[in-house]
Amino acid sequence: MNEGTRRRIHLLLRDGAIIAGLGIFLIWTLAPIAWMILTSLLPHRALITRPPDIDPALFTLKNINGVLEDRAVLVDSFINSAIVACATTALALTLGSLAAYAIARLSVPGGNKLMLMVLATQMFPGIVLIIPLFILLSRAHLIDTHIGLVIVYLSFVLPVVMWILKGFFESIPVQLERAAMVDGATTMQTFRLVVLPMSLPPLFAAGVFAFIESWNEFFYAVILTRTEVKTVPIRISEFSGQYRTAYGEMIAAAMIASIPVIIMAIVFRKYILLGFSEGAVKG
């Protein structure tokens, strides 16, 4: 065997290994998702056959309809989650953009130290925060209300939103704002008419982050909800348990709950890595 052939075989082997690796990666990542989709489409009888009877002829929408038909099963919790996630996002973007702009541009003394402190508080695990907040909210009769959840969710959403936006505001050339002020615009007018329109991408990134995190949040929701404002993750968790056997509906519900976020993640994927690596240390 000459040198050239050996080299070619070597390269072929390496390419083969890479393709095999990609194949394993695909199976490892997609198999659970595929099983999720199949389960939601299979009737109960096929699911409790050993091994499961995966026959496309059996496919049915019964699980999905079962989850969607009775409002109390999932739809009500979708509304609760939407209210909480939208309110949290809107509040965080409003408060966060104003504060971030002030710190980035309006020479608030100690602004950068303040931002570092805001970041440092995100090191604290949720359990540290929720114990006093639970006591506070029960005294204020805000347990099991939308407002209670939104207040608590701001604790991990607002800091991240502030960090994303402050970074962006600092990167805008200051000349534009100066020009607006020379033309007689007030600070608020400059912010609203010059800065905000340029800031749509980071506002979007921050908004997507805030929405997804509030939509998926479970730990605080377990503690703060009873009967009235059960969010989607709470309803999903109620399907599980040793004595629950509605496997098809459980998985269909989990899938339906995940679809909005998966779509958001895929559509806004460019913004996400930035937002989430900033927010990753959240409590």
In the complex, the smallest distance separating the C-beta of residue 204 from other proteins, rounded to whole angstroms, is: 16
Q: Give the footprint of other proteins on residues 84-123 (CB under 8 A).
A: 95-96, 98-99, 101-103, 106-109, 111, 114, 118, 121, 123
**Contact code string over 176-215 relative to other proteins, x by CB under 8 A:** --x--------xx-----------------------x--x
Q: Give the footprint of other proteins on residues 231-270 (CB under 8 A).
A: 232-234, 236-237, 239-240, 247, 250-251, 254-255, 257-258, 261-262, 264-266, 269
- Select 35 or 69, whichever has its Cβ closest to other proteins: 35
First vs last Cα of the chain: how many Å apart? 61
- The SS3 call for residue 184 is coil
Residue 37 engages other proteins in binding (rule: CB under 8 A): no
Question: Rounded to whole angstroms, how far apart are CA atoms 160 and 166?
Answer: 10
Q: Furthest-apart CA pair in the chain: how many Å?
A: 83
Structure tokens belonging to residue 282: 């959240």
Residue 58 engages other proteins in binding (rule: CB under 8 A): no
Residue 279 in contact with residue 209, Cβ under 8 Å? yes
Question: Rounded to whole angstroms, how far apart are CA atoms 72 and 110?
Answer: 50
Burial code (b: 16+ CB inside 10 Å, e: under 16) for 126-136 equals beebbeebbee
**Contact code string over 155-174 relative to other proteins, x by CB under 8 A:** x--xx--x------------
Residue with tokens 């409003």: 94
Q: Which of 2, 4, 72, 132 binds other proteins (CB under 8 A)?
A: 132
> What's the distance, CA 181 to chain centroid?
38
Q: Which of 8, 11, 13, 29 binds other proteins (CB under 8 A)?
A: 29
Q: Which stretch binds other proteins (CB under 8 A): 1-9, 23-31, 58-66, 194-202?
A: 23-31
